[in-house]
Chains A and B, each alone.
Chain A
Amino acid sequence: MENTKDREIVLSREFDAPRELVWKAYTQQEHVEKWWGPNGFTTTTSEMSVRKGGSWKFVMHGPDGTDYPNLIEYERVEAPHLLVFSHGDDGKNEIQFHVTITFEEVNGKTKLTMRSVFPTAEARERVVKEYGAIEGGIQHLAKLAEYLKGM
């Protein structure tokens, strides 16, 4: 597996609920719409198909009325323990995260770990074309993030 430690954000949380339930909350439209997004946001789904190659098209409505189109494309769907997808917008911003979520059973609780890998340079065709070269992936960004904190 590619080492992405230096360019990822990892969030982890333990939930006092069975793993199947957490999986359901993450993968069923009726549930995911109820909690997805930061405070004050609501979500409207236009299409959701949680399976390998499937996608979830939705709009997040911000508290100030701004709409944010989102597109999730599922790459691995292995109930109830693994979900891998790419998460981007409608293509305008070109920032795309690659997200891996694991659901682990820990003493009757469920530990959810979400690993978001930074966008890679390869995804950025417009810029790549402009400079005429495909360059390596993002590296050492964690180190960078570390010193950014002190700025």
Chain B
Amino acid sequence: MDTGHVDWTFYALAEPHRLEIVELLRVRPMLVGEIVTKTKMRQPQVSKHLKVLSEAGLVEKDAVAQKRIYKLKTTPLKELNAWLEHYRECWEESLDRLDTHLEKMKEGEKHGKHKR
């Protein structure tokens, strides 16, 4: 299956601090300074995480009057969600097939016993 950028999304979100930033930006776009205050992280750390997040396409930067405002881009999250749903569906279908196959196996065992 084509996993697209899902692996990048996974990677970017795997780090708790980055996930925290994503959670914050869900509410509204924020200045870097606001993210620093709210997360109690140091600015260089926040910048580093924002860099990873933007490379994964999860956030984008708007520069307004020299200020850097970050906002969330939802496309990778939607892709991730679709991918997870797909994973779940694949398994549901697989288990349906297992159910059918178990019926055949039960029949087979019965016949096996008759033969003995």
Contact = CB atoms under 8 A, between A and B. Distances in A.
A121 B11 contact: yes
Nearest to A17: B102
Interface band, chain B: 35 or more
Nearest to B3: A93
Contacts of A26: 98
Nearest to B56: A127
Interface string A11-41: 1010111000110111000010011111100
Contacts, number: 112
A95 B16 contact: no
Contact residues of B: prevailing secondary structure: helix
Contacts of B15: 121, 135-136
A137 interface: yes
Interface of A: 9, 11, 13, 15-17, 21-22, 24-26, 31, 34-39, 68, 93-95, 112, 114, 116, 118-121, 124, 127, 131, 135-141, 144-145, 147-149, 151
Interface of B: 1, 3, 6-8, 10-11, 13-16, 19, 22, 26, 52, 74, 77-78, 80-81, 84, 87-106, 109
